[in-house]
Structure 1
Amino acid sequence: MDITASNELLGGLSPAQFMRKYWQKKPLLVRQALPGITPPVDRKTLVALAADEDVEARLVTAFGGRWQLKQGPVATLPPFSKPGWTVLVQGLEQHCQAARELLDRFRFGPEARLDDLMLSYASDGGGVGPHFDSYDVFLIQVAGRRRWRIAEQKNAVMREDVPLKIIANFEPEQDFVLEPGDMLYLPPGWAHDGVAVGGDCMTCSVGFRSPWRAELAQELLQRLMDDEDEPRANRMYADPKQEATVNPGLIPMALQNFARDAAERALREPRALERSLGEALTEPKPRVFFMPGESLADGRGIALDRRSRMLYDADHVFINGESYRAGGKDFRLMKRLADARQLEAGEVASLSEGARDLLDQWCEDGWVQPA
């Protein structure tokens, strides 16, 4: 992708201009960002996905002003003609190639931040109430019409009487009705309320995850501690010189030092933190699974399976929670696979025997598919 070229998706802005002027700064409304767009799946397929136990789905209703939330699988939906409900299917790109291709249109931001594509279907008046997200989101209208009211609301108070995170004192500042092909970008924390106008409303949401510091630290420390399970690196606390004490409630200084050393030792290992971060960022979500494949035949290119997450840093290649050290031409081509999500047949043929064996294993695991 040429990040300096004008992009219709961004209203004529280049990705570089968009990231400088709007990303995490202010909303952007783009009329006909995707002209002629059609939903990634039809209504019948969406209904089937919502009922699938391997798919993350939710049903939100507001009948008679009473908000209710049902977590999937959602086997039965209200009548399509009944106003006031919406069904949401998360991670649609895992189940539909058209959704994967739509998600890939937004890879002008780091893949480490790109989360998933959610599709919501709403009857007339359906929505999830005024709320805000802790991540960047692109709201793409793919069928029907939806009215969006937004505000940079700093004094939001959440309702405590509903099973959803709904703002009680929502004060909209801007109001838009989106038609198919229109798109609205919102930075984290912007309050917004989307309501279907006329029914048969489908909206795709492309989300960019923003990990909280405490959650990320917990994940990384757990992975670092898991690495310490090797017998040669791990040992049990011992205190053969501990004397009798008249202060049994006092934590011994030696135990405090032992605990501090345990944490610091994990961080002292070269590239340990970087390795753990890459593994955490590419770890498949709980409901993601891969269908086993076969070894790659000669003369074939490859493409990442639409469920696969692949990243790299200065020393590692990461894919689906695993990390690998690489260098030279192999590393250059593996980085290209992560960036482009595919390699041509000639590029595959130029890999070393070890790298080719690794690709064969990824093909057998279903992480990579023959192109």
Structure 2
Amino acid sequence: MTTTRMRPATALSRAVATAPDEFAVSHWGREPLLSRAADLGGPGGFTDLLSSAAVDELISRRGLRTPFLRVAQQGAVLPQSRYTGGGGVGAEITDQVLDEQVMRLYADGATLVLQGLHRLWPPLIEFAGRLGAELNRPLQVNAYLTPPSSQGFNTHYDTHDVFVLQVEGTKRWCVHPPVLPDPLEKQAWGGRADEVAATAQGEPAFDVVLEPGDALYLPRGWLHSARAQGDRSLHLTVGIRGLTRYALVEELLTMAMADPRLRATLPYGFDPGDPDAVGAELTETVDALRSWLTTVQPDQVADRLRNRSWPAARPAPLSPLAQLTFADALTASDSVAVRPGLRWLLTAPEGEQVTLRLTGRTLSFPAYCEPALRLALDGVPHRVGDLPLADDADRLVLARRLLTEGVLVPAGQ
């Protein structure tokens, strides 16, 4: 008798063995969390996402190129020239992965890092899309294949949160508290290498061996190192790109250029090395900035943050030829749905037009299409014939345009 494992209710439930509310309050951006396979999907809990056989296929049969592969050994990333070369006849490129070179390096103890698998490997494309939608954040998925008893990277910290999903083998993780809590992307660990090394000599907050099906959540800034145990180790690292208050400050300062007081030239003969002169100008500048900040509207900042964060995430992939074929043959009885992961904003009608904002572009429609657009974009499949427009001809025109623009997809895709 065959049994089918039930698909978890959420993608997050595959990575944390606690309720989402508890995870959000007690761990997200605050504290690490270890979740054991027994409380998740069992020892085979992540093999549907990736496997050693899948790694072999990616390296040898998928035309993999840099930067989708890095190779690290003894804490250093090896030059690409050690494992890439020409693609052969009909593929005149110079950075295609050479499988025999990769094999030799791995046999000599190097760790293989497959990067950007959320763009390459179908099971991870689907998983990353679901998890990114639940967290409402862009993310990336890398895989680390480490030889037995080897370590790819020395103790370091990441500037983004990570979920570690152990797929095969075992790996010992030593985790230490941050030397810099909540580091920004421009505050990489290399600038604090001495502090990191000194802290790594102390007692770790976590010293655990991850076994197949185990998961570990690490907020940004937490120091960590990992070493494979007796067998080779394959794990996935899901990196979550956060949005910080510093990002708000950056956008506010950019917007502040609109205030002539903050663009003003400092006095003639101003001495930047004189604390008294700097102090006087600093007082006036802070007063001007404080006054200007009271005029800022949340929708202005939201618009800038939207433009900043939307391009970092891509919607679910679609099949261009099948999409066009479906659109050409579309009937009122066909069902469509908004493309998963699509970022969009439908503005209120202005005059005779309504605008649909997408990442990097805008689409305009007649204002009377607004109710039909809102229904089509609500995340639920709908029959084309149910769109609130005057007749099927109008409904088909709207649905076809949204399909060919990559906004809608066939329901169930």
TM-score range, shorter chain: 0.5 to 0.7
Are residue 29 (structure 1) and residue 34 (structure 2) matched?
Answer: yes
State the distance in 2 between where 1:279 and 1:360 align. 27
State the distance in 2 between where 1:348 and 1:200 align. 55
Residue 47 of structure 2 corresponds to: 38
Residue 236 of structure 1 corresponds to: none
Aligned residue pairs total: 334
- From 217, 220, 234, give the equivalent of 1:185: 217
- From 297, 308, 316, give the equivalent of 1:280: 308
State the distance in 2 between where 1:129 and 1:356 align. 58
Of all paired residues, the percent bearing the same amino acid is: 20
Deviation at 1:83, TM superposition (A): 4.8
Residue 194 of structure 1 corresponds to: 226
**Change in CA separation of 1:28 and 1:289 when aligned onto 2, cut-off 3 Å:** closer
Q: Is the 8 A contact 1:135 1:208 kept in 2?
A: yes
- Which residue identity lines up with residue 387 of structure 2 in the other structure? S
Residue 17 of structure 1 corresponds to: 22
- From 331, 343, 349, give the equivalent of 1:310: 343
- From 156, 160, 168, give the equivalent of 1:135: 160
- Which residue identity lines up with residue 320 of structure 1 in the other structure? T
Are residue 75 (structure 1) and residue 87 (structure 2) matched?
Answer: no
**Change in CA separation of 1:346 and 1:309 when aligned onto 2, cut-off 3 Å:** closer
Residue 90 of structure 2 corresponds to: none
Consecutive unaligned residues in structure 2, runs of 5 or more = 1-7, 85-94, 182-187, 259-266, 272-283, 349-354
- Which residue identity lines up with residue 106 of structure 1 in the other structure? L
**Change in CA separation of 1:85 and 1:281 when aligned onto 2, cut-off 3 Å:** same
Are residue 52 (structure 1) and residue 57 (structure 2) matched?
Answer: no
TM-score, normalised via structure 2 length: 0.61
Q: Is the 8 A contact 1:85 1:123 kept in 2?
A: yes
Q: Is the 8 A contact 2:176 2:223 kept in 1?
A: yes
Deviation at 1:289, TM superposition (A): 9.7
Q: Is the 8 A contact 2:179 2:199 kept in 1?
A: no
State the distance in 2 between where 1:185 and 1:118 align. 15
Please give the residue correspondences for 1:165-244 in structure 2 after superposition, counting only pairs within 5 Å. Answer: 167=197, 169-170=199-200, 171=202, 172-214=204-246, 218=250
Counterpart secondary structure, 2:229: strand
Deviation at 1:181, TM superposition (A): 0.9
State the distance in 1 between where 2:252 and 2:69 align. 28
Deviation at 1:98, TM superposition (A): 0.4
- Which residue identity lines up with residue 52 of structure 1 in the other structure? R
Counterpart secondary structure, 1:271: helix
Deviations 1:235-288 (A, max 9, x none): xxxxxxxxxxx95889xxxxx99xx99xx79x86883332232232111479x9
Counterpart secondary structure, 2:23: helix
Deviation at 1:25, TM superposition (A): 2.5
Deviation at 1:29, TM superposition (A): 1.0
State the distance in 2 between where 1:10 and 1:351 align. 42
**Change in CA separation of 1:173 and 1:58 when aligned onto 2, cut-off 3 Å:** same
State the distance in 1 between where 2:307 and 2:106 align. 46
Deviations 1:316-353 (A, max 9, x none): 9764344679965643652x43xxxxx42437953659
Of residues 114-123 and 72-81 in structure 1, the stretch that sits farther from structure 2 once superposed is: 72-81
TM-score, normalised via structure 1 length: 0.67
Counterpart secondary structure, 1:16: helix
State the distance in 1 between where 2:298 and 2:248 align. 19
- Which residue identity lines up with residue 10 of structure 1 in the other structure? V
State the distance in 1 between where 2:158 and 2:55 align. 26
Q: Is the 8 A contact 2:72 2:153 kept in 1?
A: yes
Q: Is the 8 A contact 2:335 2:384 kept in 1?
A: no
State the distance in 1 between where 2:158 and 2:232 align. 24
State the distance in 2 between where 1:217 and 1:323 align. 27
State the distance in 1 between where 2:374 and 2:176 align. 45
Counterpart secondary structure, 1:106: helix
Residue 331 of structure 1 corresponds to: 374
Deviation at 1:190, TM superposition (A): 1.4
Counterpart secondary structure, 2:171: strand
Please state which structure has a larger fraction of its residues in helix: 2
Consecutive unaligned residues in structure 1, runs of 5 or more = 229-245, 251-255, 338-342
**Change in CA separation of 1:348 and 1:85 when aligned onto 2, cut-off 3 Å:** farther
